[in-house]
Amino acid sequence: MTNGPRTFADARRWALIGTELVSDAVTGLDDTGYAAPSGLPDWTRAHVAAHVAANAEALANLVHWAATGEPTPMYASPEERAAGIERGRAVPAPALTAWLRRSADALEARMDALSEDRWRHEVVTAQGRTVPATELPWMRAREVCVHAVDLATGTTFADLPADFLAALCDDVTAKRAAAPGPAVTLRATDTGATWELPGDGEPVPVIGALHALTAYLTGRGAAPRAADGPPAPALAAWL
pLDDT for res 228:
74
Distance CA 31, CA 7 (A): 39
What are the DSSP calls for 28-41, one per residue? Answer: T--HHHHHSB-SST
pLDDT at res. 4: 63
Q: How far apart are CA 56 and CA 190, in angstroms?
A: 33
CATH of 172-239, one of 3.40.50.300, 3.30.70.20, 3.30.1050.20, 3.30.70.1170: 3.30.1050.20
Q: Does CATH place domain 8-155 in 1.25.40.320?
A: no
C-alpha to C-alpha distance for 76 and 124, rounded to whole angstroms: 13
Distance (Å, rounded) from C-alpha 18 to C-alpha 24? Answer: 10
Domain boundaries, the chain: 8-155, 172-239
Per the DSSP assignment, residues forming a β-bridge with 131 are 123
- Give 5's contacts (C-beta < 8 A, 6+ positions apart): none
CA distance 19 to 144: 6
Asked if 213 contacts 167 with a C-beta cutoff of 8 angstroms, the reply is no
Nearest alpha-carbon partner for 189 in 170, 214, 210:
210
Residue 207: per-residue pLDDT: 92
pLDDT string in tens for the chain (239-residue length)? 445 689 999 999 999 999 999 999 999 999 999 999 999 999 999 999 999 999 999 999 999 999 999 999 999 888 888 998 999 999 999 999 999 999 999 999 999 999 999 999 999 999 899 999 999 999 999 999 999 999 999 999 999 999 999 999 999 999 999 999 999 999 999 999 999 999 999 999 999 999 999 999 999 966 777 777 778 898 988 87
